[in-house]
Amino acid sequence: MTAVVGALAAVTVGLAPHAAAYDEQSKQWYLGEMEAETMWKVSTGKGVKVAVIDTGVNPNTPSLKGQVLADEVPKAVAYKATDDYGSHGTSMAELIAGTGAGGGLKGLAPGAKIVPYRVELEGLKGEAEKEKTPEPDQAVRAAADTDAKIINISFGGMTTDKDEAAIKYAASKGKLVIAAVGNNAGPGESGVIDYPAAFPYVIGVASVNRSFSVSKFSSYGSYVDLAAPGEGYPGWCDATFRSYCDNRHGTSPAAALTSAAAALIWSAHPDWNVNQVVRSMIDTAGRRNPEKGPSKYIGYGMIRPRLVLKNPHYNPGPANVDPLAKDNGGDLLAKSGTKPSPTPSASASTASQAPEKASGGATSAAGSSAESSNDSNTLWIALGAAAAVIVIGGAGVAVMRARRAR
């Protein structure tokens, strides 16, 4: 089975190549909106490793020098891990942990490290010597056996039983698996969410644009968990790595930024486990009317790691309770060997930790309704000091969130 980049690949709208030296950070609009400089005073993601399963990662771009731990890729799946045949994986890695050196992309978690995994993705030219290149499920399992805390999957097409088993294995090891939901909502498209984002124990990420509108291409449905910026950013034009191109977009970068946000939180709280990191992200996510339950367009809302980092006494709730256990059909996200507790989880929406009133509060994953809100018109997000209104593209109707339980 060959996984598919297809619609999940970062798409370029109006190529604008740049010769060195670059000035890409100034075009990363979301860094200002998310108050990245303020967050970096608290956490840069240091000490957290992110497994990037993709087209490979080039460790020699100015922004990634010293950031890629190629020697930590298990040998069985390490074939040409640093030979990126499509530039997709390198762009995702820079969005996560790029240092911005040489004017390149600055990662949202520039202190984190990248562990690269090169897999075959249909639609990109990387088919040579297939027998030596691992399948995505093999890479996921290998990453699960390392000390990488986060597994980023910015592609779709992992649809087999082997793929699902690999995801469950990673979850049982306490890994946070984050994936793009797909770019299937454009004209003539079905809007259907892709796998692995639709599997249990995966955080599926949708895209919003610079106006904080849900991206017209972003897939939607009952498997969307969070949303992040996914439009109007630079990325490498091709595998020659000679220039960046402007106006790249897709749910791929949205997933990468969500992985980076998780790295910021985990670095600041290394004693937390995956349940607590996930709960903190869900409970601080921004959207209007969270009491009505998750939206099929942005799930629990837009990532806002700032709200976690600014509170040194943030209560992430119990470690042995999966905040998405009802959605996942069980508790595999807990630490290995622990049992779910019947005690309700502590929520960041309690009075002591509630986000600003302007954001409409935050929803607790543990106590949210099983039915999505009929909020297809507007959503509310407070990214920085100011609040912004999200307008959903398309009408859409409320749907039952018969989520991942099988």
* CA nearest neighbour of 293 among 224, 353, 392, 339: 224
pTM (2 d.p.)? 0.83
CATH class of 3-391: alpha beta
The rounded distance, in Å, linking the Cα atoms of 226 and 309 is 18
pLDDT of res. 39? 98
Which amino acid belongs to residue 139?
Answer: A
Q: With contact defined as beta carbons under 8 Å apart, do 381 and 285 qualify? A: no
The rounded distance, in Å, linking the Cα atoms of 100 and 240 is 19
Q: Which residues of the chain have pLDDT under 70?
A: 1-2, 4-21, 123-129, 332-406
277-305 pLDDT tens trace:
999 999 999 987 788 889 999 999 999 99
pLDDT of res. 21? 62
Q: With contact defined as beta carbons under 8 Å apart, do 24 and 263 qualify? A: no
Q: With contact defined as beta carbons under 8 Å apart, do 284 and 316 qualify? A: no
Q: What percent of the chain has pLDDT over 90?
A: 66
Which residues, at least 6 apart from 344, have a Cβ–Cβ distance to it below 8 Å?
366, 367
pLDDT of res. 327? 84
pLDDT of res. 128? 60
Sheet with 244-249, strands from edge to edge, namely 11-12, 244-249, 231-236
pLDDT of res. 127? 60
Domain boundaries, the chain: 3-391
Query: Residue 320 is encoded by which pair of tokens?
Result: 């042995």
Active site residues: 54, 88, 252
pLDDT of res. 346? 34
154-193 pLDDT tens trace:
999 999 999 999 999 999 999 999 999 999 998 888 899 9
pLDDT of res. 146? 98
pLDDT of res. 372? 27
Cα 72 off chain centre by: 22
The rounded distance, in Å, linking the Cα atoms of 222 and 377 is 17
The rounded distance, in Å, linking the Cα atoms of 205 and 219 is 9
The rounded distance, in Å, linking the Cα atoms of 339 and 372 is 28
Measured CA angle at 382 (ends 380, 386), to 5 deg: 120
pLDDT of res. 331? 72
